[in-house]
Amino acid sequence: MKTKLIYVVLLISLFSIQAISQIKVNGKVTSAEDGSVLAGINVLLKGTSLSTVTDVNGDYKIEVPHVKSVLVFSFIGLVTEEIKVGNKTTINVRMSADTQQLQEVVVGSGKKSRERLSKVAPTADYAEEISMSGATYHYNQHQPVQQESNTEEYTEISENGFKNPFNDPLSTFSIDVDAASYSNVRRFLNLGQMPPKDAVRIEEMINYFDYDYKQPTNNDPFAINTELAASPWNKDHKLVHIGLQGKDISMDNLPPSNLVFLLDVSGSMSAQNKLPLLKSAFKMLIDKLRPEDKVAIVVYAGAAGEVLASTSASEKEKILDAMDQLNAGGSTAGGAGIELAYKIAQKNFIKDGNNRIILATDGDFNVGASSDKAMEELIEEKRDAGVFLTVLGFGMGNYKDSKMEILADKGNGNYAYIDNILEAKKVLVNEFGGTLFTIAKDVKIQVEFNPAKVQAYRLVGYENRLLAPEDFNNDKKDAGELGAGHTVTALYEIIPVGVKSQFVVDDLKYQKTQITEGAKNSSELMTVKLRYKKPDGDVSKLIVKTINDDKKSMDDTSDNFRWSAAVAAFGMQLRDSDFKGDMNYLDIIDLAKSARGKDDEGYRAEFIRMVESCKLLARN
């Protein structure tokens, strides 16, 4: 009888343990300073690898095994909180800023060069808020760096100089819709540090923002908008603004998607601003997908594997469950992951659909094909299969910007850097169509300048996108892609004929180049030619537009013109450019404020705060 009683007690105890073994805990994480919600906070079950991340509203959900479980709430720049679950099913947490000193960081630039960044102490004065989509998010201007060493890599940039239209009558380049440089620069400034020069790609900073361009009215997938006025950083020069507006396509009219998530789960992705942020970002994307869309998930660490076969987005819980199971560990076989992702994308290929791989990584490949050249050759081999590529960069310390820029450029794709949950929302939710749906590929621009009016010209940025003049008519030459609703902006700085300048080369002694009578009598300043292909096309279409000379002042320009000029001027300040002219940070702030215009998501207000922060940092 006693034995039976013990057995019953043990059985009851077992059922009791099972009954409490799946405690569902939820809650909200807010700032202790002002009560604003905190997105992207890592919530970890202590002693395990089980974790989740707070969403854009600061909310989280997690299952724990028993009442003695402890939850750890952490994020870079905030004091870590540990809370015992007990009998609570709702745990709301208030987190405070961590005021520890920033550590010194060494950042790589070019092949071997390294740039040492100054040590800056963060203060609570730079804690700010961003209001977006009706919600307020806490935004730390300074977050402590906790990297023991830094091996970040950036491709060396040799800034475009002025060219003589007699010697170089044509300027040819590929469009660039990437915006990774801007959010990466923001990350440095938020850490209280100036970014390395080669992390600053001015065209990507300009193209981070949307512009109020006119929509196309014909059968072309984009419209061309141009404007000309005096340059704000050199009153004797002129600035030419060229803007492309991709055709807006409603969500209902977008083609079905065959998506392959290619996710880096190697050991280098274990940091809180890597895999945990990645998972939260992709959950927002999954929520945006329609039943006709499909998702497969491929992961890679020491080897590559498929963790979810292509699945209809109508089964979102199944896709989300697969995401929740991901944990970081091991080396990084990026090449093997890319091979497998393309194989799965081709297996599930949708004719006339959107076939795309979304690669999320810190770029720190170290197994198999890993060099920049090897990755370039691998991607070039795969891009003709009709599968596009989106590259999302995460993390810091070992971030390989140079490698990811190559992957996107050579893989018919685009590249964004995700430094926080709000940037994930911008790229994967707010700009869903532009990020994932290509409406024109291999878009090239070629400009011819009238030497009767242009003494010298300079393309602002796009150093990594320059093409040879003969590449413009060569349909085999790869170029950039334009997404639905996306805008692309390019600026040319012009030195008019007759203006004395240190940037102008002396006249030649032994030869003269004659200007045609047509050029002398023309009001045209330049001719802009564009070529593009349809997403599934092999033959390009030509568009030609002329720009007449104009004496418009800066005050008479559009918000589009002044905003792009302000961002370009800021980029030149960050690069300490030889062409930055006489503008300073205060001038840039004033110009940006005059052009802020419609700013529903707060991106332009954030830029102005960034310039203000940079002005303070520059004093140290």
- CB–CB of 295/285 below 8 Å? no
- pLDDT tens, residue by residue, 525-546: 999 999 999 998 999 999 999 9
Confidence band of 487 (pLDDT split at 50, 70, 90): very high
Average predicted confidence (pLDDT) for the chain: 83
What burial letters (b/e) apply to 194-217, b meaning 16+ CB within 10 Å?
Answer: bbbbbbbbbbbbbbbbbbebeebe
Per-residue pLDDT at 451: 94
The CA R_g of the chain, rounded to the nearest whole Å, is 26
- pLDDT tens, residue by residue, 314-351: 999 999 999 988 887 766 556 678 889 999 999 999 99
Token code pair at residue 397 = 């310390």
- Please give the backbone phi and psi of residue 197, each rounded to the nearest 5 degrees, phi first: -55, -40
Angle of CA points 8, 14, 20, to nearest 5°: 135
Q: What is the mean pLDDT of residues 183-210?
A: 93
Per-residue pLDDT at 395: 85
Per-residue pLDDT at 302: 65
Consecutive H or E run containing 442: strand 438-449
Question: Would the pLDDT of 112 be above 50?
Answer: no
From CA 592, how far away is CA 559, in angstroms rounded? 9
From CA 603, how far away is CA 347, in angstroms rounded? 39
Strands 304-312 and 294-300: antiparallel
- Please give the backbone phi and psi of residue 414, each rounded to the nearest 5 degrees, phi first: -135, 165
- Who wins on pLDDT, 234 or 378? 234
DSSP 3-state assignment of 125?
Answer: helix
Confidence band of 378 (pLDDT split at 50, 70, 90): confident
Lowest mean pLDDT: which of 57-66, 69-78, 546-555?
69-78
Lowest mean pLDDT: which of 14-18, 61-65, 470-474?
14-18
- Who wins on pLDDT, 247 or 331? 247
- Please give the backbone phi and psi of residue 173, each rounded to the nearest 5 degrees, phi first: -155, 165
From CA 407, how far away is CA 378, in angstroms rounded? 9
- CB–CB of 140/190 below 8 Å? yes
The residue among 154, 190, 187, 153 whose CA lies nearest residue 398 is: 153
From CA 78, how far away is CA 80, in angstroms rounded? 6
The residue among 256, 285, 270, 250 whose CA lies nearest residue 392 is: 285
Write the CA distances from 143 to 79, 291, 418, integer angstroms. 11, 40, 16
